[in-house]
A and B are shown apart, each in its own frame.
Chain A
Amino acid sequence: MPSVSMTVNGKAVSGEVEGRTLLVEFLRQNLSLTGTHVGCDTSQCGACVVHVNGESAKACTVLALQAEGAEVTTIEGMAQNGTLHPIQAAFKEHHGLQCGFCTPGMVMSAADLLQRNKNPDETEIRDWLEGNICRCTGYHNIVKAIHAAAQAMRG
């Protein structure tokens, strides 16, 4: 079996995988990082969004071997020393989640938006969330949370 090595949340990791093993399977099964969810497994819902070399990607539509040598960040890598990332804190504060299933993907997707656009307006936030589906919230509080997080991160 081929082996794969990458950096996940700042830590060097490696493991044996098949050619067909998905990045999300490697994260959840080999590394037990179950914060990255699988909602659809058909590239539609965005529950599985992680960052690969700093850019958001659907981990259900990336092979583990495609991430050879990459820097991967998952939701588990967002809080630092027990302090929530400002986006996580804003989701909590603004009730940006109900069941929480979509939340890891929402937070990782939002983090990619805010690194490109420090001050997105409501339309830009909603457009950016095109690939993230939430069955609970109606999106309104998610948009509010991302807006607030952007403000907090600008300081």
Chain B
Amino acid sequence: MYAFNYHRPASIDEAISALSGASDGTVMSGGQTLLPTLKQRLASPSDVIDLGAIAALKGIREDGGAIVIGAGTCHAAVAGDATVRAKIPALAALAEGIGDPQVRNRGTIGGSVANNDPVADYPAGLLGLGATIKTTKREIAADDFFTGLFETALADDEIITEISFPVPQKAGYAKFPNPASRYAIVGVMAAQGPAGVRVAVTGASEGGVFRVAEMEAALGGNFSAEALAGIGVPEDNMNADIHASAAYRAHLVGVIAKRAVEAAG
């Protein structure tokens, strides 16, 4: 790691002023992605602004027909939360399947969403459930938020504060994990709810998370795994690496989408 100045603000306002006062600052939430990145010297921020002590960023509440999760809420807290388990069990299952217990104890939803790793779970959760990302500047629909490989609509000086999930009638998440890292080789969130029928796929594409319109149309008429029979995705733009070829990933999208719909019950 290169040296940096460390800040531990107690409020969102203090975090914003620390960020704007830094020549090349970055915020840190759980550090489970940022610290490994810094260790590899893939980034060299002048200042690291730790959001970990900001109580306002943590917690889960029900708000009308939505579940609102603070950006600094760790994966274990989402997985174990009684309201999330009751209202959106697919989201609890998604959080429960991230990495390992120690990563889940520290890694946060805000960090995962801001990072937009093409093989991370939460991007599929947010896009599939039609979530809204609230920041220090505005509200952004998941459809407009994930703009590409590790790219989001966030500005450099914008901090995610919370994420709001409309409660669906039905939703299921399934993933085919990389056996070593547990990241998704393919992960699918399929949901039927206020945001319509949505199918979002992570892990598979070079461009990051994406929706499958043909599957959504089929499930709109009949929300069952059988409705997905014969619907595939093209191999173009699929990731290909030592873990899985593009053809294999394209095939897996169909298989995992059916499992997600089945998990939705």
Question: How many whole Å from B125's CB to the nearest CB in chain A?
Answer: 20
A55-63, A80-88, A143-151: which lies at the B interface? A55-63
Q: Which among A20, A22, A41, A113 is the interface contact of B3 at CB below 8 angstroms?
A: A20
Report if A141 contacts B (CB, 8 A): no
A61 touches B50 (CB 8 A): no
A56 touches B31 (CB 8 A): no
Which A residues lie within 8 Å of B103 (CB)? 43, 58, 131
Which of A55, A66, A128 counts the most B-chain CB atoms under 10 A from its CB? A66
B50 touches A66 (CB 8 A): yes
Question: How many whole Å from B55's CB to the nearest CB in chain A?
Answer: 13
Q: Which residue of A lies closest to B74 (CB)?
A: A55
Q: Which among A19, A57, A65, A113 is the interface contact of B106 at CB below 8 angstroms?
A: A57
Q: Which among A2, A65, A68, A130 is the interface contact of B100 at CB below 8 angstroms?
A: A130
Q: If the complex has contacts A109-B101, A131-B100, are A62 and B106 also in contact, measured as CB distance less than 8 A?
A: yes
Chain A contact-residue range equals: 20 to 34
Report if B39 contacts A (CB, 8 A): yes
B105 touches A20 (CB 8 A): no
Q: If the complex has contacts A19-B6, A20-B1, A131-B100, are A61 and B105 also in contact, measured as CB distance less than 8 A?
A: no
Q: Which among B2, B76, B102 is the interface contact of A58 at CB below 8 angstroms?
A: B102
Report if B224 contacts A (CB, 8 A): no
B36 touches A19 (CB 8 A): no
Dominant SS among interface residues on chain A: mixed
Q: Which among B3, B6, B38, B102 is the interface contact of A57 at CB below 8 angstroms?
A: B102
Q: If the complex has contacts A42-B39, A43-B36, are A61 and B31 also in contact, measured as CB distance less than 8 A?
A: yes
Which A residues lie within 8 Å of B76 (CB)? 55
A63 touches B102 (CB 8 A): no
Kindly state the separation between the CA atoms of A62 and B31 in the bound complex, as whole angstroms.
7
B48 touches A19 (CB 8 A): yes
Report if A96 contacts B (CB, 8 A): no
Q: State the A residues within 8 Å of B (CB).
A: 2, 18-20, 22, 41-43, 46, 49, 55-58, 61-63, 65-66, 68, 109, 112-113, 128, 130-132
Q: List 25 A-B contacts (CB under 8 A).
A: A2-B6, A19-B3, A19-B6, A19-B48, A42-B36, A42-B39, A43-B32, A56-B105, A57-B102, A57-B106, A58-B103, A61-B106, A62-B35, A65-B6, A65-B8, A65-B50, A66-B8, A68-B8, A109-B102, A112-B101, A112-B105, A128-B101, A130-B100, A131-B99, A131-B103
